[in-house]
Chain A
Amino acid sequence: EDKVVQSPLSLVVHEGDTVTLNCSYEVTNFRSLLWYKQEKKAPTFLFMLTSSGIEKKSGRLSSILDKKELFSILNITATQTGDSAIYLCASVELGGATNKLIFGTGTLLAVQP
């Protein structure tokens, strides 16, 4: 069965720390991997990764995909309290009529002042 596993499940850090969130996947017809940040309600899009080894960066956040080892990491440097959220990763599986998104259960990040 296709699945996406995120680790750790939760994490507490202090402002200024660097964190690495992990996402591994087992998907039959893998197309791409997505990262989302969910603060209160709507998950907001962070990154879409399709190619292995190419880092995507946005401010203090960066992410990379390893298609050989079937995982992705999301790095956050110099964390701030506003980074506190659930971080979700999802794999996109190629389907017949449409692609299918499989989400992990998320990593709950709490950044303390």
Chain B
Amino acid sequence: KAGVTQTPRYLIKTRGQQVTLSCSPISGHRSVSWYQQTPGQGLQFLFEYFSETQRNKGNFPGRFSGRQFSNSRSEMNVSTLELGDSALYLCASSPEGAGNSPLHFGNGTRLTVT
């Protein structure tokens, strides 16, 4: 079974630009969660999608948004990029969501904002 796939692996953007990250979950997994990882803050929850609906959201500004498609693939968008958005963005999938079964993580997208 293929694992969670995230694209692209690396991104370099400048302040003010926007970016879209993609995540393909493990086949059969309907829940996709997004996390931001920085050295000082650890993994911070962005949002979770299940069957194309956002059902949980972390404490991030509205510049961070996402969506999920009917095939469970998910995208995350960050608009008006700031230097502080530089981080590793991790996507995780599970059959039904956190707690019922472990999350399976992708390798992440490393975003650098200059």
| Chain A residues proximal to chain B, CB less than 8 Å | 31-32, 34, 36, 41-45, 48, 88, 90, 92-95, 97-106
Set of chain A residues within 8 Å of B55, measured between Cβ atoms:
97-98
Distance between Cα atoms of A29 and B33 in the complex (Å): 20
Q: Does B98 contact A (CB under 8 A)?
A: yes
CB-based contact A100/B56 at 8 Å: yes
Distance between Cα atoms of A34 and B56 in the complex (Å): 19
CB-based contact B33/A101 at 8 Å: yes
Of B14-22, B39-47, B64-72, which binds chain A? B39-47
Q: Which of B31, B42, B99, B108 sits near A105, CB closer than 8 Å?
A: B42
How many B residues have CB within 8 A of the partner chain?
28
Interface string of B69-88 (1 = CB under 8 A from A): 00000000000000000001
Distance between Cα atoms of A100 and B104 in the complex (Å): 15
CB-based contact A101/B103 at 8 Å: yes
Interface residues of B in 10-58 (CB under 8 A from A): 31, 33, 35, 40-45, 48, 50, 55-56
CB-based contact A45/B50 at 8 Å: no
Distance between Cα atoms of A32 and B102 in the complex (Å): 10
Q: Which of A41, A45, A100, A104 sits near B98, CB closer than 8 Å?
A: A100
Set of chain B residues within 8 Å of A101, measured between Cβ atoms:
33, 45, 98-99, 103
In the complex, what residue of chain A is closest to B50 when comparing beta carbons?
A98
Distance between Cα atoms of A92 and B102 in the complex (Å): 10
Taking the closest CB of chain A, its distance from the CB of B2, in whole angstroms, is 13
Distance between Cα atoms of A41 and B105 in the complex (Å): 9
Set of chain A residues within 8 Å of B50, measured between Cβ atoms:
98
Set of chain A residues within 8 Å of B99, measured between Cβ atoms:
31-32, 92-94, 99, 101
Set of chain B residues within 8 Å of A92, measured between Cβ atoms:
98-99
The 3 closest A-B pairs by CB, nearest first: A99-B99, A105-B42, A92-B99
CB-based contact A42/B45 at 8 Å: no
In the complex, what residue of chain B is closest to A91 when comparing beta carbons?
B99
Taking the closest CB of chain B, its distance from the CB of A58, in whole angstroms, is 13
Distance between Cα atoms of A44 and B31 in the complex (Å): 17
CB-based contact A42/B108 at 8 Å: yes
